[in-house]
C-alpha cells in the first residue's frame, strides 16, 4: 500500500460519543484527510466503558486513553502524567504532525507540550471565543499563551475568532490561518416536497436554551411575531435552563397551538425537524462559528440571525441586532422575501460554498507549512517562553525544562527502538 503522505494525530478531550461542534469537526476533517490518502489517528480520553483502541469508519483509529474526565469532559490536568502515553502513541504510529483542538481541553494542551518537547510539528485549532475580564478567562488565556508561544501554525474558524485568538495569545497574525467549519450537505438535503408557505409559515429554532444562546430574546420575540402575523407558527427544539421561561411565555400569551416545544432533539433527527420549516431563527449572543445556520441553509431555509456576519452571503441570511424590536423587523423582512427563495437552489449553492473536502485541502496546506518550519533546539525555544510575562515566562521555562528531562529519562528506561511500530492497515475498498 502506498506510504501515506502525512501522518496526523488529532488530540482533544471532545470526541465521539459526545456530540458537538468540535467533535463533528474532528470527525469530518479526519474522514476527508483519510480520503486524501493521509493517515489520521485520534487521541481522546475514555468515555465511560469506551476505553482502549477503537476503529471508526474508513479506518480512523481512535485511542481512548484510560483517564477519567473530571469536570466538563476535561481530563484531570497532571502536566506530566500524559507524557508516557503520548510518547508511545507518537512512536507507534510514526506521527509527523500533531493537531490539537479546542483551548478548553487540558489533554490538548498537555499533548501539544509533550509533542513539542519531542520535536514534532504542532498545529492548534481554536473553536471558541473568550473574554478578557473575568477570572476564568484570564487563566485560560495564560495557558493558551503558553501553548501558542511555541506552536508552528494555528487555525481559527472565523475572522472574529482569529482576532480574538491573536489578542489573547499574542501570536503573530501571519501564523494564524482562517479555515471555517463546513456542513455535510449530503445529510442536510431539503425536503422532496416543500411545505407550502401560503397559509402557514413555520419558523424553526434549534439551540440549547441557555442565556448565551439568546433564549431570553426568544421569550420577547415570539409573542410579538405571533401577534403581528396570525399565520406564523414556531417550532422550538432543544432543552436547557431557560425552558421554563419559554413555557411560561406560552401560557401567558396562550400560544400552545402556535408554539411547539420539542425538547432535546438528537443530532440524527435535526434534519427532519428543519425540513418542516421555512425560516430558521438564531438568537445567540455570541458565536465563534454557527454550524446550525449552515445546516439550515443546506436544508433550504432562510436564516434570521444575530451576530454571525460573514458566514452566509447576504441573500441567504437576514442579520439583526440582539434586540427584540430589531429581530422582529428582521423576521418581517424574511417573511416578505420568502416567496423568492428556492430551497433546491439554496442547497446547490451551499454545496459550492462549504464542503469538508475543501476544509481538508486547506488544512493540508497548513500541515505542509508546519512541516517546513525549522525545528529549534531546547535553548532557542526557551527564549520564546520568556516573553510570556515577568513571572509566568520563568515558570513556563521551568515546566519545559522538566518536561525535557523527563523525556530523556523515559528514553533511558524504554528506548525508542523498543516501542513496536503499528502496521498501516488499508481499509479502502
Partner 1 sequence: MDNNLAGDSPPPPPPPPPPPRPKWRKVAYGGMQIGYDDNYTDETFLEEMVMNANVVRRDLLKVMKDSISISQYLCIVALVVLVWFHTLQSSLDETSLLLLDLSLLALGFLVLLLTEEKMLSLRLLLRYVTNITFFTTGLYVLAPVYQTLTRSISSDSIWAVTVSLLLLHLFLHDYSGSTIRAPGALKSPSLTSCISVNASVVASVFVASRLPSRGHVFAVMLFSLQVFLFAPLVAYCIKKFSFGLHLGFSFALMGLTMYSVYALHRLFFVLFLVLVVVVNVVCPYWLIRMQEYKFEINGPWDEAKLCFDITD
Specify the residue for cell string 526557551.
Answer: 382
Of residues 325-354, those binding partner 1 (CB under 8 A): 352-354
Q: Which of 53, 138, 167, 228 binds partner 1 (CB under 8 A)?
A: 167
Half-sphere exposure of 11 (CA within 13 A, CB side): 29
Sign (positive/negative) of CA torsion 241, 242, 245, 249? negative
Q: Which of 17, 48, 136, 174 binds partner 1 (CB under 8 A)?
A: 174
Q: Using CB atoms within 10 Å of the CB of residue 188, give its burial: 0 to 12 exposed, 13 to 18 middle, 19+ buried.
A: buried
Closest alpha carbon to 63 in 80, 47, 39: 47
Q: Which of 313, 342, 375, 402 binds partner 1 (CB under 8 A)?
A: 313
Q: Which residues pair with 69 in a beta bridge?
A: 75
Got the DSSP string for 351-362? HHH--HHHHHHH
- Rounded least distance, CB 290 to partner 1, Å: 10
- Rounded least distance, CB 410 to partner 1, Å: 35
Of residues 77-116, those binding partner 1 (CB under 8 A): none
For residue 206, is the peptide bond before it cis, meaning its omega torsion is within 30 degrees of 0? Answer: no
Number of residues that bind partner 1 (CB under 8 A): 48
What does each C-alpha distance from 237 to 230, 234, 241, 287, 379 come to in angstroms?
Answer: 21, 10, 13, 19, 54
* E strands present in 84-181: 97-101, 121-126, 153-156, 176-178
Of residues 360-389, those binding partner 1 (CB under 8 A): 362, 365-366
- Rounded least distance, CB 3 to partner 1, Å: 27
Q: Does 141 bind partner 1 (CB under 8 A)?
A: no
Q: Does 224 bind partner 1 (CB under 8 A)?
A: no
Q: Which of 46, 163, 389, 407 binds partner 1 (CB under 8 A)?
A: 163
Q: Using CB atoms within 10 Å of the CB of residue 71, give its burial: 0 to 12 exposed, 13 to 18 middle, 19+ buried.
A: exposed
Q: Which of 50, 54, 139, 212 binds partner 1 (CB under 8 A)?
A: 212
Residue closer to partner 1, measured from CB, 323 or 421: 323
Q: What is the dihedral of CA 33, 151, 398, 385, to 10 degrees?
A: -170
Residue closer to partner 1, measured from CB, 260 or 326: 326
Closest alpha carbon to 373 in 117, 96, 152, 148: 152
Of residues 235-274, those binding partner 1 (CB under 8 A): 245
Q: Does 318 bind partner 1 (CB under 8 A)?
A: no
Residue closer to partner 1, measured from CB, 179 or 201: 179
Q: Does 21 bind partner 1 (CB under 8 A)?
A: no
Binding footprint of partner 1 on the chain (CB under 8 A): 129-133, 157-161, 163-164, 166-167, 173-180, 212, 216-217, 220, 245, 285-286, 288-289, 306-307, 310-313, 322-324, 352-355, 358, 362, 365-366
Amino acid at each position: 500500500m502506498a506510504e501515506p503522505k502525512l501522518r496526523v494525530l488529532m488530540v482533544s478531550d471532545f470526541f465521539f460519543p459526545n456530540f458537538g461542534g468540535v467533535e463533528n469537526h474532528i470527525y469530518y476533517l479526519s474522514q476527508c484527510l483519510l480520503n486524501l490518502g493521509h493517515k489520521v489517528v485520534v487521541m481522546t480520553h475514555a468515555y465511560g466503558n469506551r476505553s482502549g483502541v477503537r476503529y471508526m469508519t474508513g479506518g480512523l483509529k481512535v485511542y481512548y486513553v484510560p483517564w477519567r474526565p473530571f469536570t466538563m469532559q476535561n481530563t484531570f490536568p497532571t502536566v506530566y502524567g500524559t507524557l508516557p502515553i503520548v510518547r508511545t502513541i507518537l512512536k507507534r504510529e510514526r506521527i509527523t504532525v500533531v493537531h490539537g483542538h479546542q483551548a478548553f481541553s487540558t489533554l490538548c494542551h498537555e499533548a501539544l507540550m509533550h509533542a513539542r518537547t519531542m520535536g514534532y510539528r504542532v498545529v492548534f485549532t481554536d473553536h471558541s471565543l473568550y473574554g478578557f475580564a473575568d477570572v476564568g478567562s484570564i487563566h485560560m488565556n495564560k495557558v493558551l499563551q503558553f501553548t501558542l508561544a511555541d506552536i508552528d501554525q494555528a487555525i481559527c474558524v472565523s475572522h472574529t475568532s482569529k482576532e480574538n485568538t491573536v489578542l489573547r495569545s499574542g501570536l503573530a497574525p501571519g501564523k494564524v490561518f482562517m479555515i471555517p467549519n463546513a456542513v455535510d450537505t449530503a445529510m442536510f438535503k431539503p425536503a422532496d416536497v416543500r411545505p407550502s408557505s401560503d397559509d402557514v409559515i413555520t419558523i424553526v429554532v434549534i439551540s440549547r436554551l441557555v442565556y448565551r444562546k439568546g433564549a431570553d430574546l426568544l421569550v420577547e420575540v415570539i409573542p410579538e411575531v405571533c401577534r403581528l402575523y396570525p399565520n406564523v407558527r414556531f417550532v422550538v427544539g432543544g432543552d436547557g435552563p431557560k425552558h421554563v421561561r419559554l413555557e411560561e411565555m406560552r401560557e401567558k400569551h396562550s400560544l400552545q397551538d402556535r408554539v411547539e416545544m420539542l425538547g432535546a432533539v438528537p443530532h440524527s433527527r435535526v434534519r427532519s425537524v428543519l425540513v418542516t420549516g421555512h425560516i430558521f431563527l438564531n438568537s445567540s449572543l455570541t458565536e465563534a462559528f454557527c454550524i446550525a445556520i449552515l445546516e439550515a441553509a443546506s436544508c433550504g431555509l432562510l436564516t434570521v440571525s444575530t451576530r454571525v456576519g460573514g458566514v452566509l452571503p447576504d441573500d441567504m441570511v437576514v442579520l439583526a441586532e440582539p434586540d427584540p424590536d430589531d429581530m422582529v423587523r428582521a423576521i418581517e423582512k424574511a417573511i416578505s422575501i420568502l416567496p423568492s427563495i428556492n430551497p433546491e437552489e439554496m442547497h446547490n449553492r451551499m454545496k459550492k460554498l462549504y464542503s469538508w473536502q475543501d476544509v481538508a485541502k486547506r488544512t493540508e496546506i497548513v500541515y505542509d507549512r508546519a512541516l517546513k518550519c525549522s525545528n529549534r533546539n531546547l535553548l532557542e525555544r526557551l527564549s520564546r517562553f520568556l516573553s510570556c510575562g515577568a513571572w509566568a515566562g520563568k515558570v513556563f521555562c521551568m515546566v519545559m525544562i522538566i518536561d525535557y528531562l523527563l523525556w530523556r529519562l523515559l528514553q533511558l528506561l524504554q528506548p525508542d527502538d523498543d516501542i513496536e511500530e503499528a502496521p498501516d492497515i488499508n481499509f479502502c475498498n
